[in-house]
Amino acid sequence: MKLQRMNRRALALGALAVSGALALTACGSDDNSSSSDSGSSAGATTAANSSVKCDDAKGQLLASGSTAQQNAMGQWAKDFMAACSGVQVNYKGVGSGAGIQEFLQGNTAFAGSDSALKPEEMDQSKKVCSGGKAIDLPMVGGPIAIIYNLPGVDGLTLDASTTAKIFDSKITKWNDPAIAKLNPGAKLPDKAIQPYHRTEDSGTTDNFTKYLKAAAPSDWSYSGGKAWQAKGGQSAKGSSGVAAGVKQTEGAIGYDELSYATEGKIQMAKLDTGSGTPVELTTDSASKAIGAAKVVGTDGDLSLQLDYATKEAGAWPIVLVTYEIVCDKGNKADTLPATKAFLNYIAGADAQAKLADMSYAPLPDEIATKVRSAITSIS
Protein backbone atom coordinates (compact mmCIF):
# COMPACT_ATOMS: atom_id res chain seq x y z
CA MET A 1 0.00 0.00 0.00
CA LYS A 2 2.91 2.34 -0.55
CA LEU A 3 3.17 5.33 -2.85
CA GLN A 4 4.47 3.37 -5.80
CA ARG A 5 1.24 1.48 -6.35
CA MET A 6 -0.16 3.75 -9.02
CA ASN A 7 -1.03 1.45 -11.89
CA ARG A 8 -4.73 2.15 -11.69
CA ARG A 9 -4.49 5.91 -11.91
CA ALA A 10 -4.83 6.42 -15.66
CA LEU A 11 -8.49 7.35 -15.69
CA ALA A 12 -10.54 8.74 -18.51
CA LEU A 13 -11.74 11.80 -16.63
CA GLY A 14 -13.14 13.28 -19.79
CA ALA A 15 -15.86 10.66 -19.60
CA LEU A 16 -17.00 12.23 -16.39
CA ALA A 17 -17.86 15.60 -17.90
CA VAL A 18 -21.55 16.43 -17.89
CA SER A 19 -23.56 18.48 -20.29
CA GLY A 20 -24.62 21.88 -19.07
CA ALA A 21 -27.96 21.29 -20.73
CA LEU A 22 -29.05 18.77 -18.17
CA ALA A 23 -31.94 20.14 -16.15
CA LEU A 24 -32.40 18.52 -12.79
CA THR A 25 -34.63 18.99 -9.79
CA ALA A 26 -34.83 17.66 -6.25
CA CYS A 27 -32.32 15.93 -4.06
CA GLY A 28 -32.25 12.65 -5.88
CA SER A 29 -32.18 14.17 -9.31
CA ASP A 30 -29.31 12.45 -11.02
CA ASP A 31 -28.04 12.79 -14.45
CA ASN A 32 -26.35 10.21 -16.46
CA SER A 33 -27.97 7.66 -18.48
CA SER A 34 -26.82 4.78 -20.47
CA SER A 35 -29.09 3.21 -22.97
CA SER A 36 -29.20 -0.51 -22.27
CA ASP A 37 -31.44 -2.17 -19.81
CA SER A 38 -30.07 -2.74 -16.36
CA GLY A 39 -30.93 -6.38 -16.76
CA SER A 40 -30.66 -6.94 -13.03
CA SER A 41 -33.41 -7.79 -10.64
CA ALA A 42 -33.22 -6.63 -7.02
CA GLY A 43 -30.11 -8.00 -5.38
CA ALA A 44 -28.78 -9.51 -8.59
CA THR A 45 -25.06 -9.46 -9.20
CA THR A 46 -23.72 -8.93 -12.70
CA ALA A 47 -21.10 -11.04 -14.35
CA ALA A 48 -19.04 -7.98 -15.31
CA ASN A 49 -18.11 -7.26 -11.72
CA SER A 50 -19.18 -9.69 -9.02
CA SER A 51 -19.01 -6.99 -6.32
CA VAL A 52 -21.54 -4.73 -8.06
CA LYS A 53 -25.22 -5.26 -7.30
CA CYS A 54 -27.24 -3.22 -9.76
CA ASP A 55 -30.62 -3.89 -8.17
CA ASP A 56 -33.15 -1.71 -10.05
CA ALA A 57 -30.63 0.97 -10.97
CA LYS A 58 -31.19 2.69 -14.28
CA GLY A 59 -30.99 6.09 -15.91
CA GLN A 60 -28.66 8.96 -15.24
CA LEU A 61 -26.87 9.67 -11.98
CA LEU A 62 -25.33 13.10 -11.59
CA ALA A 63 -23.05 14.15 -8.75
CA SER A 64 -20.40 16.81 -8.26
CA GLY A 65 -17.98 18.24 -5.75
CA SER A 66 -14.56 17.39 -4.38
CA THR A 67 -11.70 17.18 -6.82
CA ALA A 68 -9.79 15.21 -4.18
CA GLN A 69 -11.88 12.11 -4.86
CA GLN A 70 -12.27 12.64 -8.60
CA ASN A 71 -9.77 9.97 -9.60
CA ALA A 72 -11.43 7.43 -7.32
CA MET A 73 -14.86 8.38 -8.64
CA GLY A 74 -13.62 7.97 -12.18
CA GLN A 75 -12.53 4.38 -11.56
CA TRP A 76 -15.63 3.51 -9.54
CA ALA A 77 -18.00 4.97 -12.14
CA LYS A 78 -16.22 3.05 -14.89
CA ASP A 79 -16.52 -0.24 -12.99
CA PHE A 80 -20.14 0.37 -12.01
CA MET A 81 -21.26 1.26 -15.52
CA ALA A 82 -19.47 -1.77 -16.94
CA ALA A 83 -21.51 -3.95 -14.62
CA CYS A 84 -24.81 -2.07 -14.79
CA SER A 85 -25.46 -1.32 -18.42
CA GLY A 86 -28.63 0.68 -17.73
CA VAL A 87 -26.90 3.39 -15.71
CA GLN A 88 -24.63 6.30 -16.61
CA VAL A 89 -22.72 7.89 -13.74
CA ASN A 90 -21.38 11.41 -14.24
CA TYR A 91 -19.28 13.04 -11.54
CA LYS A 92 -18.01 16.61 -11.96
CA GLY A 93 -14.97 17.68 -9.96
CA VAL A 94 -15.91 21.30 -9.28
CA GLY A 95 -14.66 21.61 -5.69
CA SER A 96 -16.41 20.83 -2.43
CA GLY A 97 -18.05 24.24 -2.03
CA ALA A 98 -19.57 24.27 -5.51
CA GLY A 99 -20.65 20.64 -5.18
CA ILE A 100 -22.54 21.34 -1.96
CA GLN A 101 -24.29 24.32 -3.57
CA GLU A 102 -25.36 22.25 -6.58
CA PHE A 103 -26.74 19.62 -4.24
CA LEU A 104 -28.58 22.18 -2.11
CA GLN A 105 -30.10 23.62 -5.27
CA GLY A 106 -31.51 20.22 -6.10
CA ASN A 107 -29.31 19.71 -9.16
CA THR A 108 -27.50 16.52 -8.18
CA ALA A 109 -28.17 13.20 -6.51
CA PHE A 110 -25.32 13.64 -4.09
CA ALA A 111 -22.33 15.87 -3.48
CA GLY A 112 -18.73 15.03 -2.69
CA SER A 113 -17.22 17.22 0.00
CA ASP A 114 -13.95 17.11 1.90
CA SER A 115 -15.68 18.75 4.86
CA ALA A 116 -18.91 17.77 6.57
CA LEU A 117 -21.94 20.01 6.15
CA LYS A 118 -22.20 23.06 8.36
CA PRO A 119 -25.35 23.35 10.54
CA GLU A 120 -26.81 26.01 8.26
CA GLU A 121 -26.20 23.81 5.21
CA MET A 122 -27.87 20.92 6.99
CA ASP A 123 -30.92 23.14 7.56
CA GLN A 124 -30.93 24.19 3.90
CA SER A 125 -30.92 20.56 2.82
CA LYS A 126 -34.40 20.05 4.27
CA LYS A 127 -35.76 22.05 1.33
CA VAL A 128 -34.53 19.50 -1.21
CA CYS A 129 -34.80 16.39 0.97
CA SER A 130 -38.57 16.15 1.27
CA GLY A 131 -39.39 14.91 4.75
CA GLY A 132 -35.73 14.39 5.58
CA LYS A 133 -32.31 16.03 5.56
CA ALA A 134 -28.83 15.50 4.16
CA ILE A 135 -26.36 13.19 5.86
CA ASP A 136 -22.56 12.97 5.57
CA LEU A 137 -21.26 9.54 4.56
CA PRO A 138 -17.44 9.22 4.78
CA MET A 139 -16.21 7.40 1.71
CA VAL A 140 -12.65 8.27 0.64
CA GLY A 141 -9.61 8.85 2.79
CA GLY A 142 -7.50 11.53 1.16
CA PRO A 143 -3.97 12.05 2.45
CA ILE A 144 -2.85 15.65 1.88
CA ALA A 145 0.76 16.01 0.79
CA ILE A 146 3.01 19.03 1.17
CA ILE A 147 4.46 19.14 -2.33
CA TYR A 148 7.46 21.16 -3.39
CA ASN A 149 9.83 21.73 -6.31
CA LEU A 150 13.41 22.08 -5.19
CA PRO A 151 15.90 20.19 -7.37
CA GLY A 152 18.70 18.63 -5.37
CA VAL A 153 16.77 18.70 -2.08
CA ASP A 154 15.03 15.37 -1.61
CA GLY A 155 13.48 14.24 1.64
CA LEU A 156 12.78 17.77 2.87
CA THR A 157 11.49 17.82 6.45
CA LEU A 158 9.11 20.47 7.75
CA ASP A 159 7.10 20.88 10.93
CA ALA A 160 3.75 22.57 11.60
CA SER A 161 5.23 25.88 12.71
CA THR A 162 7.55 26.23 9.73
CA THR A 163 4.81 25.16 7.31
CA ALA A 164 2.42 27.73 8.75
CA LYS A 165 5.00 30.52 8.39
CA ILE A 166 5.79 29.51 4.82
CA PHE A 167 2.14 29.61 3.75
CA ASP A 168 1.60 32.89 5.60
CA SER A 169 4.57 34.47 3.78
CA LYS A 170 6.57 34.88 7.00
CA ILE A 171 9.31 32.54 5.80
CA THR A 172 10.18 33.54 2.27
CA LYS A 173 13.53 31.90 1.44
CA TRP A 174 14.40 28.22 1.22
CA ASN A 175 17.61 28.69 3.22
CA ASP A 176 15.75 30.26 6.14
CA PRO A 177 17.29 29.16 9.49
CA ALA A 178 14.05 27.45 10.55
CA ILE A 179 14.10 25.19 7.48
CA ALA A 180 17.85 24.64 7.77
CA LYS A 181 17.49 23.51 11.38
CA LEU A 182 15.03 20.79 10.33
CA ASN A 183 17.28 19.69 7.47
CA PRO A 184 20.90 19.53 8.69
CA GLY A 185 23.29 18.86 5.86
CA ALA A 186 20.82 19.76 3.11
CA LYS A 187 22.01 22.21 0.46
CA LEU A 188 19.16 24.68 0.70
CA PRO A 189 19.32 27.41 -1.96
CA ASP A 190 19.03 31.13 -1.38
CA LYS A 191 15.86 31.07 -3.43
CA ALA A 192 12.43 32.63 -2.98
CA ILE A 193 9.63 30.30 -1.83
CA GLN A 194 6.50 30.46 -3.96
CA PRO A 195 3.55 28.99 -2.02
CA TYR A 196 0.52 27.74 -3.98
CA HIS A 197 -3.01 27.53 -2.60
CA ARG A 198 -6.44 26.80 -4.05
CA THR A 199 -8.32 29.55 -5.86
CA GLU A 200 -11.85 28.30 -5.21
CA ASP A 201 -13.54 27.16 -2.01
CA SER A 202 -11.99 23.81 -1.25
CA GLY A 203 -12.33 21.08 1.32
CA THR A 204 -8.62 20.40 0.86
CA THR A 205 -7.90 23.96 1.97
CA ASP A 206 -10.26 23.50 4.90
CA ASN A 207 -8.50 20.36 6.12
CA PHE A 208 -5.00 21.69 5.48
CA THR A 209 -5.68 24.83 7.50
CA LYS A 210 -7.33 22.78 10.25
CA TYR A 211 -3.99 21.01 10.57
CA LEU A 212 -2.09 24.31 10.77
CA LYS A 213 -4.54 25.71 13.31
CA ALA A 214 -4.42 22.58 15.48
CA ALA A 215 -0.69 21.86 15.28
CA ALA A 216 0.70 25.42 15.14
CA PRO A 217 -1.92 27.67 16.78
CA SER A 218 0.56 30.41 17.65
CA ASP A 219 1.75 30.64 14.03
CA TRP A 220 -1.58 30.32 12.22
CA SER A 221 -4.03 32.98 13.36
CA TYR A 222 -6.72 32.51 10.72
CA SER A 223 -10.14 31.05 11.44
CA GLY A 224 -9.90 28.55 8.60
CA GLY A 225 -12.57 27.23 6.26
CA LYS A 226 -12.89 26.35 2.60
CA ALA A 227 -11.65 29.76 1.41
CA TRP A 228 -7.93 30.59 1.59
CA GLN A 229 -7.33 33.42 4.07
CA ALA A 230 -3.58 33.90 4.39
CA LYS A 231 -1.62 36.64 2.67
CA GLY A 232 0.48 36.31 -0.46
CA GLY A 233 1.20 33.22 -2.50
CA GLN A 234 -0.07 31.99 -5.86
CA SER A 235 -3.51 30.55 -6.43
CA ALA A 236 -4.49 27.71 -8.74
CA LYS A 237 -7.81 26.09 -9.51
CA GLY A 238 -8.47 22.56 -8.39
CA SER A 239 -6.14 19.87 -7.15
CA SER A 240 -4.73 19.44 -10.65
CA GLY A 241 -4.04 23.18 -10.89
CA VAL A 242 -2.01 23.23 -7.68
CA ALA A 243 -0.06 20.15 -8.76
CA ALA A 244 0.70 21.69 -12.16
CA GLY A 245 1.71 25.02 -10.63
CA VAL A 246 4.17 23.46 -8.22
CA LYS A 247 5.59 21.07 -10.78
CA GLN A 248 6.23 23.86 -13.27
CA THR A 249 7.68 26.38 -10.80
CA GLU A 250 11.10 25.84 -9.27
CA GLY A 251 11.02 26.98 -5.64
CA ALA A 252 7.28 26.35 -5.31
CA ILE A 253 5.45 24.61 -2.49
CA GLY A 254 1.80 23.65 -2.13
CA TYR A 255 -0.67 21.29 -0.55
CA ASP A 256 -2.45 18.63 -2.56
CA GLU A 257 -3.87 15.14 -2.38
CA LEU A 258 -1.39 12.29 -2.41
CA SER A 259 -2.92 10.89 -5.60
CA TYR A 260 -2.06 14.05 -7.54
CA ALA A 261 1.42 14.23 -6.05
CA THR A 262 2.30 10.66 -6.95
CA GLU A 263 0.75 10.84 -10.41
CA GLY A 264 2.76 13.98 -11.14
CA LYS A 265 5.91 12.58 -9.54
CA ILE A 266 6.24 15.70 -7.40
CA GLN A 267 8.54 15.92 -4.38
CA MET A 268 6.81 15.52 -1.03
CA ALA A 269 8.00 16.76 2.34
CA LYS A 270 8.18 14.70 5.51
CA LEU A 271 6.71 16.04 8.74
CA ASP A 272 8.29 16.34 12.13
CA THR A 273 5.20 15.83 14.29
CA GLY A 274 7.09 15.52 17.56
CA SER A 275 6.85 11.73 17.54
CA GLY A 276 10.62 11.31 17.31
CA THR A 277 11.06 10.39 13.65
CA PRO A 278 9.83 12.51 10.73
CA VAL A 279 6.75 10.92 9.19
CA GLU A 280 6.70 10.08 5.50
CA LEU A 281 3.34 10.26 3.73
CA THR A 282 2.07 6.88 2.58
CA THR A 283 -1.41 5.39 2.40
CA ASP A 284 -0.50 3.40 5.52
CA SER A 285 0.55 6.44 7.55
CA ALA A 286 -2.61 8.28 6.48
CA SER A 287 -4.87 5.33 7.29
CA LYS A 288 -3.29 5.21 10.74
CA ALA A 289 -4.51 8.75 11.41
CA ILE A 290 -7.97 8.18 9.91
CA GLY A 291 -8.40 5.02 11.95
CA ALA A 292 -8.29 7.14 15.12
CA ALA A 293 -11.14 9.39 13.95
CA LYS A 294 -14.34 9.55 15.99
CA VAL A 295 -17.87 9.64 14.60
CA VAL A 296 -19.40 12.85 15.92
CA GLY A 297 -22.47 13.05 13.66
CA THR A 298 -25.88 12.19 15.07
CA ASP A 299 -29.24 11.00 13.76
CA GLY A 300 -27.80 9.03 10.85
CA ASP A 301 -25.04 11.51 10.04
CA LEU A 302 -21.53 10.01 10.10
CA SER A 303 -19.30 13.08 10.12
CA LEU A 304 -15.90 12.40 11.70
CA GLN A 305 -13.58 14.23 14.04
CA LEU A 306 -9.94 13.92 12.99
CA ASP A 307 -6.95 14.56 15.24
CA TYR A 308 -4.83 16.95 13.16
CA ALA A 309 -2.33 17.45 15.97
CA THR A 310 -1.62 13.77 16.53
CA LYS A 311 1.88 12.81 17.63
CA GLU A 312 1.32 9.09 17.24
CA ALA A 313 4.40 7.48 15.74
CA GLY A 314 4.03 6.83 12.04
CA ALA A 315 0.73 8.72 11.69
CA TRP A 316 0.48 11.38 8.98
CA PRO A 317 -1.70 14.15 10.47
CA ILE A 318 -2.78 16.04 7.34
CA VAL A 319 -5.66 13.98 6.05
CA LEU A 320 -9.12 14.62 4.78
CA VAL A 321 -12.13 12.40 4.45
CA THR A 322 -14.36 12.99 1.47
CA TYR A 323 -18.03 12.60 2.31
CA GLU A 324 -20.82 11.71 -0.07
CA ILE A 325 -23.66 14.02 0.96
CA VAL A 326 -27.08 12.57 0.21
CA CYS A 327 -30.67 12.89 1.43
CA ASP A 328 -31.62 10.37 4.08
CA LYS A 329 -35.25 10.72 2.91
CA GLY A 330 -36.89 12.46 -0.01
CA ASN A 331 -34.79 11.15 -2.87
CA LYS A 332 -36.57 11.05 -6.24
CA ALA A 333 -38.18 7.69 -6.90
CA ASP A 334 -36.76 7.33 -10.40
CA THR A 335 -33.16 7.84 -9.31
CA LEU A 336 -33.17 6.38 -5.80
CA PRO A 337 -32.26 2.82 -6.93
CA ALA A 338 -29.21 4.05 -8.86
CA THR A 339 -28.12 6.28 -5.98
CA LYS A 340 -28.30 3.47 -3.45
CA ALA A 341 -26.73 0.87 -5.74
CA PHE A 342 -23.77 3.09 -6.60
CA LEU A 343 -23.17 4.22 -3.01
CA ASN A 344 -23.44 0.62 -1.81
CA TYR A 345 -20.84 -0.43 -4.34
CA ILE A 346 -18.29 2.28 -3.49
CA ALA A 347 -18.68 1.64 0.24
CA GLY A 348 -18.12 -2.08 -0.30
CA ALA A 349 -14.93 -3.98 0.43
CA ASP A 350 -13.89 -4.47 -3.21
CA ALA A 351 -14.27 -0.82 -4.20
CA GLN A 352 -12.55 0.37 -1.02
CA ALA A 353 -9.68 -2.03 -1.64
CA LYS A 354 -8.95 -0.27 -4.94
CA LEU A 355 -8.28 3.02 -3.16
CA ALA A 356 -4.78 2.19 -1.99
CA ASP A 357 -3.71 1.48 -5.58
CA MET A 358 -4.86 5.01 -6.43
CA SER A 359 -2.97 6.57 -3.48
CA TYR A 360 -6.05 7.04 -1.33
CA ALA A 361 -6.66 5.63 2.15
CA PRO A 362 -9.49 3.08 2.45
CA LEU A 363 -12.05 3.50 5.21
CA PRO A 364 -11.40 1.56 8.42
CA ASP A 365 -13.72 -1.47 8.58
CA GLU A 366 -15.65 -0.12 11.56
CA ILE A 367 -16.53 3.11 9.75
CA ALA A 368 -17.26 1.38 6.42
CA THR A 369 -19.76 -0.92 8.14
CA LYS A 370 -21.63 2.08 9.55
CA VAL A 371 -21.68 3.73 6.13
CA ARG A 372 -23.20 0.66 4.47
CA SER A 373 -25.84 0.48 7.17
CA ALA A 374 -26.75 4.14 6.64
CA ILE A 375 -27.07 3.64 2.88
CA THR A 376 -29.55 0.82 3.45
CA SER A 377 -31.86 3.26 5.23
CA ILE A 378 -31.84 5.89 2.46
CA SER A 379 -35.27 6.38 0.93
Return the SS3 of 322.
strand
Burial of 23 (0-12, 13-18, 19+ CB in 10 A): exposed
Residue 92: enclosing H or E segment and its boundaries? strand 87-93
Radius of gyration of the chain (CA): 21
State the pLDDT at residue 51: 78
Coil, helix or strand for 203?
helix
Measuring CA to CA, which residue among 30, 22, 99 is closest to residue 341?
Answer: 30
The pLDDT value given to residue 83: 96
Torsion of CA 142, 363, 94, 262, to 10 degrees: 30
Indicate the fold that domain 13-141+323-376 takes in CATH: D-Maltodextrin-Binding Protein; domain 2 (3.40.190)
What pLDDT digit, counting tens, does each position of 134-148 carry?
A: 999 999 998 999 999
User: 13-141+323-376 with 144-289: one CATH topology?
Assistant: yes
Q: Which CATH architecture has domain 144-289?
A: 3-Layer(aba) Sandwich (3.40)
Indicate the SS3 state at residue 53. strand
Rounded Cα gap, residues 239 and 356, in angstroms: 18
Continuous segment of H or E residues that includes residue 245:
helix 238-248
Query: Using CA of residue 362, residue 365, residue 371, residue 375, what is the dihedral sign?
Result: positive
- Domain positions in the chain: 13-141+323-376, 144-289
CA separation for the pair 290, 354 (Å, rounded): 17
For residues 219 and 228, what is the distance between their CA atoms, to the nearest angstrom? 16
**pLDDT tens string for the chain (379 positions)?**
333 333 333 333 333 333 332 233 233 322 322 333 323 333 333 334 557 999 889 999 999 999 889 999 999 999 999 999 989 999 999 999 999 999 999 999 999 999 999 999 999 999 999 999 999 999 999 899 999 999 999 999 999 999 999 999 999 999 999 999 999 999 999 999 999 999 998 889 999 999 999 999 999 999 999 999 998 999 999 999 999 999 999 999 999 999 899 999 999 999 999 999 999 999 989 988 998 899 999 999 999 999 999 999 999 999 999 999 999 999 988 889 999 999 999 999 999 999 999 999 999 898 999 999 999 999 9
According to the model, what pLDDT value does residue 343 have? 98
